[in-house]
Amino acid sequence: MRTNVKFLLLIISVGFINLSCSDNSVAGDIPDEILNTGTNENTTDSTSESTKATAVGTVIFEDNFDQTDGLPDKTKWVLCPNTGGWGRYMSVSYDQAYVKDGLLVVKGEKVNGLYKAGGIWSKGLVSFTYGRVEVRARIKSAQGGWPAIWMIPEPKTKYPTDGEMDLMEQVSSQTNAWQTIHSYYLNDLGHAEQIRQISKPYKVGDFNTYAVEWTPEKVVFYINGSVTFCYPNLHLTDDATVRQWPFNKPYFLVLNYALGGANTWPGVIDDSQLPGYMEVDWVKVTQIS
């Protein structure tokens, strides 16, 4: 009897999730963290420089990286710190995070025998709650490379309780981009009735637009204008404990090219393939009306 009740509750829960994301739902199970679940579907960049106004509303943050002094706008961005983990090789130097020819360049390289990686984030300068977040970027990766476009809550007290939204992660020579949602409910409690991660093809060697549309009810992920998956707010009565929806606070943006190494997701670094880099054409956040 208990098994039947649990099964019935699971069916009801899945039905509610499908209803919550009915306009943007994606069929399938949660991909394993190291399993490539992408298809060979074609993706086209529908968000060129002249057509990037895809969301109707007020633009609350934008950077076209047209600075002429070679540095990212210091009113919007600071260098990512060397924090260990993904940030273990962050150089905290503009040598690995700079503006050139209208593009932000963040790169990973080896300089005088030392690995150095670059990144910027808007922590302490620009954060927001809800909206459509879009980033147009091109990747030249390498074995051990780990470019990423992601969002972290401000302030952040504990991972994954406070949540995280990854618009794009690419590792080593993979030709798929990973998009992931993080929460205590998914990561620590292991609830499997919701998709939390997906891997989809991107246009290798070309610019692609990665986006999330974030509202009080759901987070919808996109690559080049196509929906990849949706994560709904289940409005659980015990959410204060299980933290299924920590996405009701300000988040800031991170743009970085990290380097992995032994026992990391990207794996060992192949020095002969360095430098690897990510070029960012523009970033835009629109408060959806």
The CA dihedral of 250, 46, 279, 162, to the nearest 10 degrees, is: 20
The reported pLDDT for the residue numbered 55 is 56
Backbone angles phi, psi at 232, to 5 degrees: -95, 155
> pLDDT by residue (tens digit) across 23-54?
543 333 333 332 233 333 444 444 443 334 44
User: What is the C-alpha separation between 15 and 34, in angstroms, rounded?
Assistant: 27
The terminus-to-terminus CA distance of the chain in angstroms comes to 47
The reported pLDDT for the residue numbered 23 is 52
The reported pLDDT for the residue numbered 4 is 46
| Nearest CA among 157, 156, 204, 150 for reference residue 180 | 150
Phi-psi region of 158 (alpha: psi -120 to 50; beta: other; left: phi over 0): beta
The reported pLDDT for the residue numbered 49 is 38
Query: Rounded to a whole number, what is the largest CA-CA distance in the chain?
Result: 69
Active site residues: 164, 169
Q: Which residues of the chain have pLDDT under 50?
A: 1-14, 16, 18, 24-54
217 and 233 Cβ atoms separated by less than 8 Å: yes
The reported pLDDT for the residue numbered 192 is 79
Q: Could you give all domains of the chain from N- to C-terminal order, each with its CATH number? A: 2-288 (2.60.120.200)
pTM of this structure: 0.85
The reported pLDDT for the residue numbered 9 is 41
The reported pLDDT for the residue numbered 195 is 86
194 and 11 Cβ atoms separated by less than 8 Å: no
The reported pLDDT for the residue numbered 288 is 86
